[in-house]
Amino acid sequence: MFIIENYSIAVVFCVITMLAWGSWANTQKLAPDSWRFELFYWDYVIGILLFSLLFALTAGSLGDGGRPFLEDLTQADSSNIGSAVLGGVLFNAANILLVASITLAGMSVAFPVGIGLALVVGVIVNYIDAPVGNATLLFGGVGFIVLAILLNANAYRKLTAQQQKVPTKGLLLAVVAGLLMGLFYKYVANSMFPDFKNPLVGKLSPYTAVFLFSFGIFASNFVFNTLLMRKPFEGAPVTFKDYFAGSGKTHWMGILGGVIWCIGMSFSILASDKAGPAISYGLGQGATVVAALWGIFVWKEFEGAPKGVSGMLNLMLLLYVIGLGLIIVAR
């Protein structure tokens, strides 16, 4: 299987993760306005599962390093399979709330608040499990990102106050999503053998772990998303009949979103071998900056905001960049 050889390449893979995780939500924006996020999300999850399987059968099965995907899957212990699947279940619960928050509050709010919190929780949890990197620099970077989150939340409050909208629901969903999302990565990381060149009996390769993680997302979606279709956060309930009434282009847009996200997840997991789970996850969550840039400059989500909001957003982005820089040099 393909394995990353050094930290520099791992950082490049984390940057690709950042771009993928920060950009996939544009596919939801590009879907028709009438296409509810609950319907979009089915295709998104299918895209994640399909890419994880394709990646495992190709990059995860070629070469001499590690252990080929199918061989790895058949020898895995049930505890490690369960850990990877549980990571998918936790991620799915968090991500459904995040996508709902994007619908209600926009990318430039949902990502900085939700993913920013996920970064903070995820770095702490993963560092406790695998303390790789300089703790002062790593948590200093996290501190800058916390300040950026608070600035973004304040900017959103000022915008919604001017527009006479109630920000509570979209912001609250982003907070809950972030707290949950900070937990999923450790379960996937714990299911894998730590040195990807030297497989351990019962443990998973990164490719097998991502596939089982994706299966956990897919399986749990029949519970989480079906419930949400019946009792949505906003609007009337939707049915599977509504889903099958969507056009091929609309369905492909959701699948593309899932593929883009799963590219980011796969690259992040591969990078964790040389960077350590805390740094790999934390750097990948720089997706917040990418998503905020999309939301602010392309989708104009803060257009018409009151005086002072623009300065807050610029400072937020600066703090994020500083925080991410500290996370990178922590190794």
Average pLDDT, the chain: 89
| pLDDT for position 108 | 67
In the three-class reduction of DSSP (H, G, I as helix; E, B as strand; rest coil), residue 118 is classed as helix
The two three-digit tokens of residue 316, written as one number? 């937020």
Q: What is the pLDDT at residue 213?
A: 98
In this prediction, residue 192 has a pLDDT band, given cuts at 50, 70 and 90, of very high
Note whether 127 and 278 are within 8 A (CB). yes
Give the SS3 label for residue 204. Answer: strand
The 10 Å Cβ neighbour count of residue 323 is: 26
Q: What's the pLDDT at 249?
A: 94
Lowest mean pLDDT among 56-60, 88-92, 174-178: 174-178
Distances (CA, A) of 132 to 65, 182, 232, 272: 23, 17, 41, 10
| pLDDT tens sequence across 5-21 | 899 999 999 999 999 99
State mean pLDDT over 206-213: 97
| More confident position, 92 or 296 | 92
Residue 48, token pair as written in the block: 């994640």
The rounded distance, in Å, linking the Cα atoms of 148 and 323 is 9
pLDDT of residue 167: 53
Q: Beta-carbon neighbour count of residue 308 at 10 Å?
A: 11
Higher pLDDT: 160 or 43? It is 43
Q: DSSP 3-state assignment of 192?
A: strand
Confidence tier at 166 by pLDDT (50, 70, 90):
very low
The answer to whether 63 and 265 have CB atoms below 8 angstroms apart is no
Tell which wins on pLDDT, 56 or 298: 56
Residues 289 and 292: their CA atoms lie apart, in Å, by 5
Give me the helices (H) in 130-247, please: 135-162, 168-190, 206-230, 240-244
CB-neighbour burial class of residue 4 (10 A; exposed 0-12, middle 13-18, buried 19+): buried
Q: Which pLDDT score, from 0 to 100, does residue 53 have?
A: 98
Per-residue pLDDT tens over the stretch 69-113: 999 999 999 999 999 999 999 999 998 998 888 778 776 677 778
Please check whether residue 206 is in contact with residue 270, taking contact to mean a CB–CB distance below 8 angstroms. Answer: yes
Query: How many C-beta atoms lie closer than 10 Å to residue 244's C-beta?
Result: 9
Which one is predicted more confidently, 162 or 187? Answer: 187
Q: Facing residues of 119 across strands?
A: none
CA–CA dist 171, 56 (Å, integer): 36
Q: Quick: pLDDT tens for 118-165.
A: 888 888 888 998 888 899 999 998 889 888 878 877 777 777 666 655
The 10s digit of each residue's pLDDT in 213-237 is 999 999 999 999 999 999 988 889 9
Quote the CA–CA distance of 181 and 116 in Å, as a whole number. 10
Q: How far does CA 104 lie from the centroid of its chain?
A: 18
